[in-house]
Amino acid sequence: MAVSPDHGSAGGTAAGGVGSLPPEVKPWQRIEWPSCVQSSLFMDWGSYYARRLRNKKALESFGHALDVCKEDQQNQRQQSCKYPRPEMRGAIRNCQNEQGFCSSDYKTLYLRSRCQRSIAQSEAALMDATRAKKMMWLTQKQKDGHVVGTADILLEKCDALFDCNEFERALRSLHTESRFFNPISQMQRRFDVRKERIMGVFEHTVGATLGPFLQQNRSAIDEVLRRRKELAAFVPRPLWKTLLEQQKCDVQSVLDKKIETLTSLERARRRASKNFYNHHYLGKSAVDVALLQLLRSNEIFLNPLSNGTTPYLRQLSGEQYGIVRKFMKTMHAGNPMYNSKEKQCRETLSGEKSRERYLFHLEYQTRRDCMRMLREVHQLRAEGNVEGLTDYIDHIMSTIIDLKTHRTLPWKWEFVNDVYNSLALAYADKCAVPANVDFLDPKNRLVLYLLQPERTKDMNIRFGGPNLYLEIKREEERKLRSNQKMEHLEERLRNSRYPIERAYLRFELARVHFKEFRFDKSLVMARSAFNEARSCNSLIWRYNSIFLVCQVHAVLSRFERLKESLGKASQLAKELRSRKLMAFLAICNTVNDNDLNLRRLRNSELSLRKPHNRRISGKPSFNSLSNLS
């Protein structure tokens, strides 16, 4: 007969209260089963669920099997044996011994320990295995004979110690417990196999490979030891005292958390190390683990609108990923990565040569890729596609070149300098005088200063007109892309090493602000880009930055400041010895002088039209006094 553990205990659920209907129960629940029968049924259900990897159900069933006899002990039942007979002794007729637990509890604890070890709960498995061993010896003394499964329980405790990474205790327990068995028996061989495994762990961890590892990572180990000493000597103190000693504001109640910013190269190194770690211990299953890690933060898998399934899926993915990570840590404790690397190099006898050969191959491939990138950059500049060139350079520099070290790309500075100079020349190539355009017409100012037309859209709702909500959605998406680009550029700016790259990044930030009509921020970033270009002695980036300042002044109709900026740009064009830029800036100066003269003439005309108050011998007139009154 099978019984499901989902329905609780069998006894006491058959009849309802007086004057009420009995509860709806299963047929087997109407029978007053003895506690040993219920415990055995729950234990069988736990084994059934454990074989089908339903570990939560299995642990619940084993827990019910342990609690049944305790409930009967509280009810003070005299007979709890499966089939009591009058000729039985009292100790056999009652399955509960003097210590208050059932004589078959050690089996349940043994099975639950195995189930917990399968889901990486090694600490709980060790506690159950220890309790099972203790109950087994008490049961053996009570029955005055040998119990079934003694070797399995002793080995289970040793395996639990091994999973807890307590290798010394596990080896000591193996030597202690193996004395109870015949040296030539099959049980003794099982103990010997585990002894050999633990000795292999000692050889892997503290063997010949430990010395070279400590020598290579001595500084990192000293840093870790220093931090551990600081944490051990840490004494919690009030926050205001700590801030007062550091000469900081002692009124601040909550400290600002420092966000760790990593360079793209450091993130790539950590990602590569993590992938190597996963593939080393999991092999091809590392791809599944990476997918499981991504699912923990994937909004498609964890839909915030699905309130019914999302909490369960979040808990399930987190638990499964935790189980895998704990198993990997256990494997790493038994066979560290430094041992595997040293062993592999010792077997091949050419570990360093293989590494150098791989680096030379990577360097050669990187050179070919960089040559291809330079050809594409020059081709895009020749086509005049400045926006496409900007996006392409941002892509290759942030995803490819930033991840290269000087070992694989020795001429990295030269490549970076060539790419950014090509981009700066592409921006300067746009400063050309278009043909057949009357620049004295105010409508052509946008063409002269390379300005984009103002984005003005009709937001009135008309029948049969454009979808207003679709236009609003597109505008929000455009702003989101702009903000993401700014965050990307600012992150690159924090981790940039080269001044010419910082000048480019500040110039791009100024352009983004200029496109979003944030002219004050655009002026600030353009001037900082100008100063950064001066520090790296780049005339072309200084010219681009100052011309962007000219564009801002042209949009705001600041003719006096525009005249000063155009003068600086003309001086830089002379230093660049570019006749094309000099001719372009000369036209800009002429048009700006014309606009400035027109404004002055208009202001003078307005001032002449205003009535002036007459004053005689320095005294105020009657009209002025009347106006004041």
Q: What is the mean pLDDT of residues 137-150?
A: 69
CA distance 507 to 184: 82
Integer Cα distance of 388 and 405 in angstroms: 27
SS3 content of the chain, % helix, strand, coil (to 5): 70, 0, 30
> If you count DSSP H runs as helices and E runs as strands, how many of each does the chain have, helices first?
26, 0
* pLDDT at 421 (0 to 100): 95
Question: Tens of pLDDT along 371-419?
Answer: 999 999 999 999 999 999 999 999 999 999 999 999 999 999 999 999 9
- Residue 85: the pLDDT is 45
Query: What is the rounded distance in angstroms from the CA atom of residue 32 to the CA atom of residue 15?
Result: 11
Residue 253 pLDDT:
58
Backbone angles phi, psi at 456, to 5 degrees: -125, 125
Residue 4 C-alpha from the chain's centroid: 42
Residue 612: partners with Cβ closer than 8 Å, 6 or more residues away: none
Q: Whose CA is closest to 273, among 332, 351, 221?
A: 332
What is the residue type of 284?
A: K
Report DSSP state, residue 463: T
- Domain assignment present for residue 370? The answer is yes
- pLDDT for 145 equals 54
Q: Is the pLDDT of residue 470 over 80?
A: yes
Q: Are 20 and 76 in contact (CB under 8 A)?
A: no
Is 462 a member of any domain?
A: no
311 and 356, same structural domain?
no
What CA–CA distance (Å, rounded) separates 612 from 57?
98
Ranges assigned E (strand) in 372-506: none
Show the domain range for 170: 5-15+28-210
Q: What is the pLDDT of residue 91?
A: 43
429 with 421: CB under 8 angstroms?
Answer: no
The predicted-structure confidence for 90-139, as pLDDT tens digits, reads as follows: 444 455 555 556 777 888 999 999 999 999 899 999 999 999 988 888 87
Q: What is the CATH number of the domain that holds 514?
A: 1.25.40.10
Rg (C-alpha) for the chain, rounded Å, is 41
Of residues 159, 146, 226, 215, the one with CA closest to residue 190: 159
pLDDT digits (tens, 9 = 90+) for 474-487: 889 999 999 999 99
For residues 163 and 179, state if they share a domain: yes
The b-or-e profile of 362-389 (16+ CB within 10 A means b, else e) is eeeebeeebeebeeebeebbeeeeeeeb
Q: What is the dihedral of CA 302, 303, 304, 305, to 10 degrees?
A: -150
302 shares its domain with 392: no
Does residue 450 sit within a domain?
Answer: yes
For the record, the structure tokens of 148 come out as: 């079934």
**Residue 479 burial (10 A CB sphere; 0-12, 13-18, 19+):** exposed
Query: What's the domain count of the chain?
Result: 4
**Do 509 and 573 fall into the same domain?**
yes
Nearest to 113 by CA among 155, 165, 68, 64: 155
For 424-525, strand residue ranges (E) read none
The tokens describing 496, both together, are 């940039």
Q: Residue 614: which residues within 8 A CB-CB, separation 6 or more?
A: 621, 623
Burial 14-52 (b: 16+ CB within 10 A, else e): eeeeeeeeeeeeeeebeeebbbbbbbbbbbbbbbebbee
Asked if 520 contacts 549 with a C-beta cutoff of 8 angstroms, the reply is: no
385 located within any domain: yes
Q: What is the pTM of this model?
A: 0.75
Residue 611 lies in a domain: no
Backbone torsions φ then ψ of 616, nearest 5 degrees: -110, 125
Is residue 229 in some structural domain?
no
- Per-residue pLDDT tens over the stretch 319-364: 999 999 999 999 999 889 888 777 766 655 567 788 888 899 999 9
**Residue 187 sits in the same domain as residue 276:** no
Q: Give the CA dihedral 242, 245, 247, 252, nearest 10 degrees.
A: 20
Together in a domain, 37 and 138: yes
610: left (phi over 0), alpha (psi -120 to 50) or beta: beta
Are residues 295 and 268 part of one domain? Answer: yes
Instruction: Name every residue whose Cβ is closer than 8 Å to that of residue 380 and which is 6 or more positions away in sequence.
Output: 388, 389, 392, 426
Mean pLDDT is highest, among 142-156, 186-200, 411-425, for 411-425
Does residue 389 share a domain with residue 295? no
* CA–CA gap between residue 309 and residue 319 (Å, rounded): 15
Q: Whole-angstrom Cα distance, residue 217 to residue 222?
A: 9
Q: Is residue 204 located within the same domain as residue 100?
A: yes
In a domain, 617, yes or no: no
Regarding whether 112 and 167 lie in a shared domain, the answer is yes
Is the predicted pLDDT of residue 67 greater than 90, yes or no?
A: no
pLDDT score recorded for residue 245: 80
Q: Which residues have a Cβ under 8 Å from the Cβ of 344 and sit 6 or more positions away?
A: 351
Same domain, 119 and 202: yes
Domain assignment present for 186: yes
What is the rounded distance in angstroms from the CA atom of residue 452 to the CA atom of residue 511? 12
- At residue 456, does pLDDT exceed 50? no
Assess whether 199 and 278 both reside in one domain.
no
Residue 210 parent element (H or E): helix 210-216
DSSP state of 300: T
Compute the mean pLDDT over every residue in the chain, rounded to the nearest whole number: 82
